[in-house]
């Protein structure tokens, strides 16, 4: 589903001093008055098992002597979307939030800090502004300008690569740095997969929050044009096995039967498509013929899961079969991304339950409805699916096979084609 989630006031909860202007799409976190604090929070949680790109504009005011800054958090606080801001400028409004990774834009230089506006990532495992020293902050990286309290809007992009658990931060078109939550902190950046898990309290699902605060000094601080993009689907032209033979995915309709690996022919309950450019996190993954049981080249979105069987599934998951994101199978030979910048049409198929179907002969998942899947669809699509599956929100998604965690996904990549079951 190559579509953006637009934080247009319908997908968010505001608290504290935050206000939203529907015309300008601006969330004003703090007015230019002392001792204010405000938050804007996503109304649903998202899984870190999927790639995403998060983009927005930020405004830090026009007084260089003002304060205090803006934060972006991904957290698993038990309060969920009902988190509230804390007073004072020191923690930029976040001190009431626990189990959080906090990316802070600090515009007020306290004693002991660097003498310029800067950005840091820190782990906050307890409420009350308590930071476990095991989760040290990144270095205080200078923003693109020494002073961002310049009365201008600044562009920000965060890219989460789930397979490597990497967060890349870009400010005004300049990549400031990356944090890799790798096993054992192999790259030495001070963050590990265990850190990510521990700070979030073992949760794979996070809520996103923006915060801002002022102390004795102040500035108007705001964010706007907040969007989040992800994708999980088949590319146009993929041939799906039906009782009548293989049919191009774009020719399938609601009510058509599709062969499934476990339950025979099943009725399509919903099908839809979106368009994107084949670049970055939206570039499709190409499987050469024979790589994964496919009889022809197969292109799917990076997070589309493929069925893997055999020794790897047994060794790494303790299961005879599991579902692995396509991105995790990349070996830059027979499995590689196609980032040519061309337009690509992604199709997604929904049944009464999550199923394994056959795409160009390869076993692959159908659409698994979770919060991230629903959120990246258009509002019209979400409304339609909610009408079809009214109990979805209460029941949650149920996968047809164990899902491989992103931290393990790369372990499934091999330099040789793998032998997997084909339709037959």
If asked whether residues 259 and 202 sit together in one domain, one would say no
Helix, strand counts (H, E) of the chain = 6, 30
pLDDT at 112: 57
Residue 281 main-chain phi, psi, to 5 deg: -75, -5
State the CATH number of the domain containing residue 359: 2.170.16.10
The answer as to whether 310 is a domain residue is yes
- Cβ contacts of residue 303 below 8 Å, gap of 6+? 49, 50, 51, 162, 230, 231, 232, 325, 326, 327
The answer as to whether 424 is a domain residue is no
If asked whether residues 214 and 239 sit together in one domain, one would say no
C-alpha–C-alpha distance, residues 268 and 334, integer Å: 31
Number of domains composing the chain? 2
Choose one of 195, 230, 265: the last residue of a domain: 230
The answer as to whether 296 is a domain residue is yes
The answer as to whether 423 is a domain residue is no
If asked whether residues 189 and 257 sit together in one domain, one would say no
Is residue 409 within 8 Å of 324, Cβ to Cβ? yes
Would the pLDDT of 201 be above 80? yes
Provide the 3-class DSSP secondary structure of residue 344. Answer: strand
- List pLDDT tens digits, range 383-407: 776 676 666 544 456 789 988 876 6
Choose one of 230, 247, 277: the last residue of a domain: 230
Would the pLDDT of 372 be above 60? no
If asked whether residues 223 and 261 sit together in one domain, one would say no
pLDDT at 423: 43
- Average pLDDT (4-27) is 81
Residue 411 in tokens = 């372990």
pLDDT at 260: 98
Would the pLDDT of 259 be above 90? yes
Radius of gyration, alpha carbons of the chain = 23
C-alpha–C-alpha distance, residues 40 and 8, integer Å: 11
pLDDT at 59: 95
Would the pLDDT of 278 be above 80? yes
If asked whether residues 134 and 28 sit together in one domain, one would say yes
If asked whether residues 211 and 250 sit together in one domain, one would say no
Within 10 angstroms of residue 391's Cβ, the number of other Cβ atoms is 8
State the CATH number of the domain containing residue 107: 2.60.120.200
If asked whether residues 217 and 296 sit together in one domain, one would say no
pLDDT at 31: 95
If asked whether residues 290 and 318 sit together in one domain, one would say yes
The answer as to whether 417 is a domain residue is no
The answer as to whether 294 is a domain residue is yes
Q: Which domain holds residue 14?
A: 3-230
If asked whether residues 275 and 181 sit together in one domain, one would say no
Quote the pTM value.
Answer: 0.60
**Residue 169 exposure: Cα atoms within 13 Å on the Cβ side:** 19
If asked whether residues 178 and 273 sit together in one domain, one would say no
Would the pLDDT of 231 be above 60? no
- Cβ contacts of residue 45 below 8 Å, gap of 6+? 80, 205, 206, 207, 371
If asked whether residues 299 and 384 sit together in one domain, one would say yes
pLDDT band at 172 (very low <50, low <70, confident <90, very high): confident
pLDDT at 389: 66
The answer as to whether 373 is a domain residue is yes
Would the pLDDT of 138 be above 90? no
Choose one of 230, 264, 281: the last residue of a domain: 230
Residue 290 in tokens = 């024979």
The answer as to whether 420 is a domain residue is no
If asked whether residues 251 and 224 sit together in one domain, one would say no
């Amino acid at each position: 589903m190559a579509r953006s989630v637009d934080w247009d006031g319908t997908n968010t909860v505001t608290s504290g001093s935050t206000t939203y202007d529907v015309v300008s799409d601006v969330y004003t976190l703090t007015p230019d008055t002392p001792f204010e604090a405000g938050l804007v929070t996503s109304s649903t949680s998202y899984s870190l098992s999927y790639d995403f790109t998060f983009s927005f504009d930020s405004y830090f005011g026009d007084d260089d002597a003002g304060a205090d800054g803006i934060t972006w958090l991904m957290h698993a606080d038990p309060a969920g979307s009902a988190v509230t801001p804390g007073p004072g400028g020191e923690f930029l409004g976040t001190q009431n939030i626990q189990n959080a990774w906090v990316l802070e834009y600090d515009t007020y230089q306290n004693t002991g800090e660097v003498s310029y506006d800067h950005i840091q990532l820190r782990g906050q495992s307890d409420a009350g502004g308590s930071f476990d020293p095991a989760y040290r902050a990144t270095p205080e990286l200078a923003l693109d300008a020494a002073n961002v309290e310049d009365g201008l809007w600044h562009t920000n992009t965060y890219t989460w690569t789930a397979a490597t658990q990497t967060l890349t931060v870009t400010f005004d078109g300049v990549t400031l740095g990356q944090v890799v939550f790798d096993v054992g902190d192999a790259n030495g950046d001070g963050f590990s997969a265990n850190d990510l898990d521990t700070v979030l309290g073992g949760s794979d699902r996070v809520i996103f929050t923006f915060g801002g605060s002022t102390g004795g000094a102040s500035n108007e601080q705001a964010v706007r044009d907040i969007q989040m993009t992800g994708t999980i689907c088949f590319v146009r032209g993929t041939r799906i096995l039906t009782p009548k033979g293989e049919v191009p995915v774009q020719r399938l309709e609601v009510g058509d039967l599709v062969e499934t690996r476990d339950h025979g022919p099943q009725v399509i309950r919903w099908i839809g498509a979106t368009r994107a450019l084949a670049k970055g996190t939206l570039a499709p993954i190409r499987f050469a013929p024979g790589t994964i049981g496919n009889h022809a080249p197969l292109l799917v979105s990076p997070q589309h899961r493929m069925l893997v069987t055999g020794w790897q599934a047994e060794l790494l998951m303790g299961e005879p079969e599991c579902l692995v994101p396509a991105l995790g199978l990349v070996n830059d030979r027979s499995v590689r991304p196609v980032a040519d910048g061309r337009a690509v049409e992604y199709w997604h198929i929904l049944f009464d339950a999550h199923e394994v179907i056959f795409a160009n002969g390869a076993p692959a998942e159908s659409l698994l409805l979770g919060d991230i899947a629903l959120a990246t669809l258009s509002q019209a699509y979400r409304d339609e699916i909610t009408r079809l599956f009214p109990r979805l929100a209460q029941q949650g998604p149920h996968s047809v096979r164990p899902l491989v965690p992103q931290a393990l996904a790369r372990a499934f990549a091999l330099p040789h084609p793998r032998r997997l079951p084909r339709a037959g």
